[in-house]
Chain A
Amino acid sequence: MLTLLQVREQLTASSPSFVGAVFDLASTLIPATATGGKKTSKDFNDPIWKVIALDKAELDICELPLMQRLRRVRQLGLGYLVFPSVHHSRFEHSLGAVFAATRMFDQLSRHAKETEQELNGIFRTVRLAALLHDCGHSVFSHVGERVLNMLYRDDISKVGAKLSEIFKDPLQGTLGGSDKPIKPKDPAAAEVIAALLLLSKPMEDFLGRCLPIAQNVAPQDAIINTVALILGKPRGLLVDRRYHHWVRGIVSGDLDADKLDYVARDAYFAGMPVSADVMRLLSQLASAVMPKQALEPGITADDVKLADIGETRVLALRPSGVSAFEMFVMTRSYLFDRLYGHHKTRAAERLMQRLLAYYLAGAIEDNHWTQKEVLAFLYMPGGDDAALELIAAPPQGAPRNPDAEKMAQQILSRDLPLRAVQISQRFCTESAVRKTAATQSSDDFLITPWTLLQQDLMLGDDSELAAEIARITQLDPGLDFILDPPAGSPIKEDPEVVVSTTGSEDVPDAVNKHFDAEQLSNAYRDIKRAAWVFTSRPHQVLVAAGTAAALQKLFDIRIHPDAVQVAKIDRSPYEEQLRKLRADGQLSTEELNNLLENDGNGRIIFPTDKLLSTALHWVAGEGHYQAAKEKLREQLIAAKVPRAYYHDYLLVLAVLRALLKHAHKYWRAKEFQDHQRYQNERRFQAHLMAFLREEFPPDSGYEVKEGEPNAAGITDVVVTQKAAGPGVRAHSVVVELKSEQSPYLPMVENHSGQPQQYAEKGYSPISILYCLFKDEAATSIADTIQVRVPTNKGSSLSTVCLGIRGFSGTASAGGLTHSPQVATAPSPSAPPPPAPTPAP
């Protein structure tokens, strides 16, 4: 067991500057002159729990600046800008957590075999951990925490890892079949700071002065046990061969004292007539005995060994408490929707995050603030309002930052960013998808654009979408507009709570068997999940139109006009702005018509970068790759492929990717120098078939056929996606092969119409022409890629053409020399070789 001094030394070594700054902060927040008051106990009035009693040691801790500053850190940050009464602080929440933890402990220990005295040490630790669990929160709570992460992520990560190493989880498991331990969960930034403040010398000295007066506990043990519990890695839970696992659940779990308090408190102060039945919930808690082996994989820490355990008790609910738990989960999800995730709250928090980060980055860069000064700012005694005032109207000598001052004034005057557009599935997918009975079943809808957008949205202002909006609108992402990603689900689908009948010998059930958390999560996701783009009033219409244009360009998504109307923007100025973007050259006519839903003959496919980059993966050289991508996009748009053929288009891209890989691998390969052999198309076809069968193996759901007869003739190669269920059309792409000792372009001129004849007979309307050509000019693969359309108007057929060069004088050094039978396309299951283009 390390001493506190050793713990401090190890933590300091992990990140000397950052840990030193937090320890310096501790000397301010826990002054050497603090000795505790004379009162031996105190009862606090509280609107939720009515009366909360603290003992002498807890009261002394509460008197420290460490805790007093929490009176001025609001529990819900900027929520009061939307719900005027949510001014409650982290201080009262901390007191509430002590009460809830005490009630939980009393209830859960009712059937314990130990005496009160034997459990007293654990009880004291639980109360201290509940009281101090939020002491690491900076101004503006979670917004401040996000800024801390932006500024000092590496430091926080290193210290967090060291804390995990020192405070080992007694339930740490191993990776299956090995001795390698599972990487412990890193604590959040506020937990790291809380742990450092509590482990500091000032805290040790303070407890040395105060704690022995009231309790017979060594300060060192009190600190280490409290920190361990806050980090969710409690120590000393093994008492007389009984392992009290339930203690852990009081401070960190899906039904812990923190959540019990904040759900009840936040709803109360927001003035919402919802309330979890927390009293019922508390009264229905019980500890349950779990089979010894349930925890077997986890008991690895030094202080707990499986052999030492006679009985394991865990936090459980009685069956009659399940509906109260259900109400608790529903209330929490309601709060997420109405309060924490309210669009105005989100906008205010994003503005505040930007302001804090901007102000502090400026102070570091321009005023050379050290970590100590940054932390002194974030943990100032005056809390939220003092920090905001300081930025808005800095005193003489303080760092000046005009942009930050302007933003602070915005918050002070509640001039918050406005909504410009909502990006959610109901406004994107429906418009992106055109259900067509001929091609799709009723349950089949197009996903790809939306899936790719979802990935990008998670990056907020760093996303490609934000960059494209910025390019189109000439505005600055993060400053002129904010892209706020959708929040995750607030409902954990497998809560770590078990249900047990008192006196039953049965193994307790997971609460999910009694209450359908997944169903609730599912409902929440479908209706509530949305990203928002926020901006200021002068930019509102421009940003709305710019977002619509960017979604169209990047993801081929037509956002429904209602997505703009929910932001209270009238349709008329929005459409006018779209026309202006067309006039400025930011939109093509087709794109404008599409967005205005003026696409008379039906919507067409707008190829997007991401999918084209997948198809063109094997085009070597950045310049060639970019040129090919732009040409293909432009020509495919000109081909006006109807949107009903989207799956055909995707299949063409998959086949094109494979053919480009073939062309890349065998470009000027030695075997294609053989005039006699490969002038024969059949041999070229055999070579390609062997390659494609490697690329599309039989169990992949694709079938590669050759010589399939058709009303228009005999096809060379057909790749079919077989996954057709009832009512779902199979998708087949014709690949027409040509092998001639002639230049490429004349071959395309002569033959590009041929595959289109097949396409009219039931195959995909987009087909492929693949030419083995002779060309002395230094043509690249990229140069050969082009789209040809029939000359007759109104046809939706097109051919993607590409070529592979052969029959030239000398073979490429990189060309493979073995026969196709033995050679050799890498298996699709093998890791792909390095991309020839830099991460397109």
Chain B
Amino acid sequence: MRSYAALKRANAAAGPQDHLTPELLGTIVALAWQEALVIPPGSTAGGGLFEAVMLDQSSPPADLPEKLQEMLDYRVSPTGIKLDQLTDMKVGAQAAGSIGRLNPQYIAPVYKSHPVEARLLLDQYSGTFPDVVDWVRHRVRAVKQPQQAA
């Protein structure tokens, strides 16, 4: 028992609270959109919610935080730059309840959280992943402005 516990402790790199996953990142991105757009639950989300944040003109953003560079796998493919974890991000946001996706896929997803939840949850996550939450909030604002101007 002693050995197993020690092994598990040794295996927990920086402690369980520091365990960022692609699924959680997807949740953070969805919440950041809802916070920035200030819209009620049930509102339709635009297409490419995650791609817009995670890809900058079809490249990984130059200012991608170190933690995300470590966690994410971008690849060049014949159909463009692929982010291996994109499905996990979408599924994570959906599983966490931040967005709802209806079938078929051409029906846009809807935001499910309340904006006050979005703010509080992001504040909660920023306590553990400050760099990541700041970067996502910054990216969402940067993407949102040209979209709104257009």
- Distance in angstroms between the alpha carbons of A443 and B42 in the assembled complex: 6
Asked whether, in the complex, the Cβ of A488 is within 8 Å of the Cβ of B41, the reply is no
- Distance in angstroms between the alpha carbons of A835 and B123 in the assembled complex: 12
Cβ-defined partner of A294 (8 Å) among B35, B73, B75, B78: B78
Q: Which residues on the A side are within 8 Å of B58 (C-beta)?
A: 297
Q: Which residues on the B side are within 8 Å of A116 (C-beta)?
A: none
Asked whether, in the complex, the Cβ of B114 is within 8 Å of the Cβ of A185, the reply is no
Q: Which residues on the A side are within 8 Å of B1 (C-beta)?
A: 403, 476, 479
Name 15 extra pairs, CB < 8 A, besides A459-B16, A839-B128: A173-B81, A175-B59, A175-B60, A183-B73, A354-B4, A463-B16, A464-B16, A494-B82, A519-B104, A521-B87, A525-B94, A617-B123, A650-B116, A701-B115, A728-B42
Asked whether, in the complex, the Cβ of B3 is within 8 Å of the Cβ of A365, the reply is yes
Q: A455-B24, A459-B16, A461-B8 are in contact. Are A361 and B62 (CB under 8 A)?
A: no
Q: Which residues on the B side are within 8 Å of A722 (C-beta)?
A: 38
Q: Which residues on the B side are within 8 Å of A429 (C-beta)?
A: 97
**Interface set, chain A 483-534, CB cutoff 8 A to B:** 486, 488-489, 491-494, 496, 498, 508, 510, 516, 518-519, 521-523, 525, 529
**Interface set, chain A 251-305, CB cutoff 8 A to B:** 290, 294-295, 297-298
Q: Which residues on the A side are within 8 Å of B97 (C-beta)?
A: 425, 429, 445, 447, 450-451, 454
Most buried by A among B24, B69, B70, B121: B121
Q: A171-B76, A488-B23 are in contact. Are A151 and B116 (CB under 8 A)?
A: no
Q: 17 A–B contact pairs at CB < 8 A?
A: A149-B11, A153-B13, A176-B62, A182-B60, A182-B75, A354-B4, A441-B40, A447-B98, A454-B27, A458-B23, A459-B16, A496-B79, A518-B105, A613-B127, A614-B120, A647-B114, A829-B141
Asked whether, in the complex, the Cβ of A723 is within 8 Å of the Cβ of B40, the reply is yes
B12 within 8 A of A: yes
Asked whether, in the complex, the Cβ of B16 is within 8 Å of the Cβ of A462, the reply is yes
A688 within 8 A of B: no
Per-residue 0/1 for B73-98: is the Cβ within 8 Å of any A Cβ (1 yes, 0 no)? 11111111110101110111011111
Identify the stretch in A195-203, A651-659, A746-754 within 8 Å (CB) of chain B at 4 or more residues. Answer: A651-659
A362 within 8 A of B: yes
Q: Which residue of B lies closest to A650 (CB)?
A: B116
Q: A173-B81, A365-B6, A522-B101 are in contact. Are A455 and B27 (CB under 8 A)?
A: yes
**Interface set, chain A 450-490, CB cutoff 8 A to B:** 450-452, 454-455, 458-459, 461-464, 476, 478-479, 486, 488-489
A83 within 8 A of B: no
Q: Which residue of B lies closest to A447 (CB)?
A: B97
Q: Which residues on the B side are within 8 Å of A491 (C-beta)?
A: 87
Min C-beta distance of B58 to chain A, whole Å: 8
Min C-beta distance of A460 to chain B, whole Å: 9
- Distance in angstroms between the alpha carbons of A150 and B12 in the assembled complex: 9
Chain B residues with CB under 8 Å of chain A are 1-8, 11-13, 16-17, 19, 21, 23-24, 27, 35, 38-43, 56-62, 64, 69-70, 73-82, 84, 86-88, 90-92, 94-98, 101-105, 110, 112-117, 119-121, 123-124, 126-128, 130-131, 134, 137-138, 141
A538 within 8 A of B: no
- Distance in angstroms between the alpha carbons of A489 and B102 in the assembled complex: 16
Asked whether, in the complex, the Cβ of B42 is within 8 Å of the Cβ of A441, the reply is yes
Asked whether, in the complex, the Cβ of B38 is within 8 Å of the Cβ of A700, the reply is yes
Min C-beta distance of B79 to chain A, whole Å: 5
Min C-beta distance of A463 to chain B, whole Å: 7
Q: A516-B105, A521-B87 are in contact. Are A173 and B78 (CB under 8 A)?
A: no
Asked whether, in the complex, the Cβ of B24 is within 8 Å of the Cβ of A366, the reply is no
Cβ-defined partner of A295 (8 Å) among B16, B40, B76, B103: B76
Asked whether, in the complex, the Cβ of B76 is within 8 Å of the Cβ of A298, the reply is yes
- Distance in angstroms between the alpha carbons of A149 and B13 in the assembled complex: 12
Q: Which residue of B lies closest to A455 (CB)?
A: B24
Q: Which residues on the A side are within 8 Å of B23 (C-beta)?
A: 454, 458, 488
- Distance in angstroms between the alpha carbons of A835 and B57 in the assembled complex: 36
Asked whether, in the complex, the Cβ of A180 is within 8 Å of the Cβ of B16, the reply is no
Min C-beta distance of A551 to chain B, whole Å: 15
Asked whether, in the complex, the Cβ of B81 is within 8 Å of the Cβ of A494, the reply is no
Asked whether, in the complex, the Cβ of A176 is within 8 Å of the Cβ of B42, the reply is no
Asked whether, in the complex, the Cβ of B103 is within 8 Å of the Cβ of A523, the reply is yes
Asked whether, in the complex, the Cβ of A175 is within 8 Å of the Cβ of B62, the reply is yes
Cβ-defined partner of A245 (8 Å) among B8, B78, B92, B113: B78
- Distance in angstroms between the alpha carbons of A390 and B103 in the assembled complex: 51
Min C-beta distance of A147 to chain B, whole Å: 9
- Distance in angstroms between the alpha carbons of A180 and B57 in the assembled complex: 16
Q: Which residue of B lies closest to A520 (CB)?
A: B103
Q: Which residues on the A side are within 8 Å of B95 (C-beta)?
A: 425, 454, 486, 525, 529
Q: A365-B6, A455-B96 are in contact. Are A174 and B59 (CB under 8 A)?
A: yes
Most buried by B among A425, A455, A459, A498: A455
- Distance in angstroms between the alpha carbons of A650 and B117 in the assembled complex: 7
Q: Which residues on the A side are within 8 Å of B102 (C-beta)?
A: 522
Q: A525-B95, A728-B41 are in contact. Are A185 and B84 (CB under 8 A)?
A: yes
Q: Which residue of A lies closest to B30 (CB)?
A: A451
Asked whether, in the complex, the Cβ of B114 is within 8 Å of the Cβ of A176, the reply is no
Q: Which residues on the A side are within 8 Å of B8 (C-beta)?
A: 150, 461-462, 478
Q: Which residues on the B side are within 8 Å of A452 (C-beta)?
A: 121, 124
Q: Which residues on the B side are within 8 Å of A725 (C-beta)?
A: 39-43
- Distance in angstroms between the alpha carbons of A174 and B60 in the assembled complex: 8
Cβ-defined partner of B114 (8 Å) among A290, A723, A832: A723
